[in-house]
Amino acid sequence: MSVSETIHRINSELPTGTRLVAVSKFHPVDAILEAYQAGQRIFGENWVQELCEKQPLCPDDIEWHFIGHLQTNKIRQIVPFVSLIHGVDSLKLLKGINKEAEKAGRVIPCLLQIHIAQEESKFGFSIDECRNILSDGHLKDLKFVRICGLMGMATLTEDTAQIRSEFKCLKNAFDEFKKNFFIDEPAFCELSMGMSDDYQVAIEEGSTMVRIGSAIFGARVY
Ligand SMILES: *Cc1c(COP(=O)(O)O)cnc(C)c1O
């Protein structure tokens, strides 16, 4: 299937209110433009340098989402144009984004990344850590970041039951945090979960943003 056919097919599977982030990492600008022609406007990238090289070559109305692990010394490069940072997994990073956003005169939407997978290697807060940070109230002092929800990655496994239970766990945390810390903040509304191999399950479990790369653009050549 072509990039454009796949984009149309995936969009037809998404419930209203769930958005597709086309993950274009390691794929050339031409592939992004092909997806753009098919109507795709949200693109996700993992690497600051790659994102900063591609962004000026692409149409201005693309919403760029940073979905990788952001290092504090690279924040400044993406703050001028990024629309959403998915993987915020430390208070230090959040403070760093706040500082650079203030300098740039922007408020940056961010998602807190929660570690839901069994693998050790994936980044993210534990649910307890995240709850502690939210309950101590200091996040409200960071005026240049807006916490818009949570993000997580399930374990890479064929075991759908396990993937489902990890997504459920993330959805429960989202509901709990929404109720206890963001009840008056409509901006806290995003649950970013689901990739090429597990997005159908993620949708069933309440995802509002699926991040899909290889199913659209093919395998990545590293
Ligand atoms: C690469 C990546 C994706 C897309 O993965 P696919 O399996 O190619 O769909 C989604 N989310 C994150 C955080 C990624 O790093």
CA separation, residue 146 to residues 55, 106, 156 (Å): 23, 10, 30
CB of 213 closer than 6 A to ligand 1?
Answer: yes
Question: What's the pLDDT tens digit per position in 74-109?
Answer: 999 999 999 999 999 999 999 999 999 999 999 999
Neighbours of 203 (CB within 10 A): 18
Read off φ and ψ for residue 126, nearest 5 degrees: -75, 160
Cα of 140 vs centre of ligand 1, distance in Å, is 30
Query: Using CA positions, which residue lies closest to atom 7 of ligand 1?
Result: 196
Give the position, in ligand 1's atom list, of the atom nearest the Cα of 215: 9
CB of 54 closer than 6 A to ligand 1?
Answer: no
CA–CA distance, 88 with 60 (Å, rounded to integer):
25
Say whether pLDDT at 180 is over 90. yes
CA–CA distance, 75 with 113 (Å, rounded to integer):
16
- Taking residues 14-36, report their average pLDDT: 97
Does residue 188 lie within any of the structural domains? yes
Residue 184 has a pLDDT of 96
Query: Using CA positions, which residue lies closest to atom 12 of ligand 1?
Result: 67
| CATH code of the domain in which 128 resides | 3.20.20.10
CB of 67 closer than 6 A to ligand 1?
Answer: yes
DSSP SS3 for 61: coil
Does residue 71 lie within any of the structural domains? yes
Does residue 178 lie within any of the structural domains? yes
Would you say 97 and 75 are in contact if contact means Cβ atoms under 8 Å apart? Answer: yes
Does residue 19 lie within any of the structural domains? yes
Residue 66 has a pLDDT of 98
Say whether pLDDT at 214 is over 90. yes
Does residue 222 lie within any of the structural domains? no
Does residue 185 lie within any of the structural domains? yes
Structurally, the chain folds into a number of domains equal to 1
Cα of 8 vs centre of ligand 1, distance in Å, is 19
Question: What's the pLDDT tens digit per position in 122-140?
Answer: 689 999 999 999 999 888 8
For residue 121, name the pLDDT band (cuts at 50, 70, 90).
Answer: low
CB of 196 closer than 6 A to ligand 1?
Answer: yes
Cα of 194 vs centre of ligand 1, distance in Å, is 8
Question: Domain limits at 64?
Answer: 3-217
CB of 216 closer than 6 A to ligand 1?
Answer: no
Cα of 68 vs centre of ligand 1, distance in Å, is 9
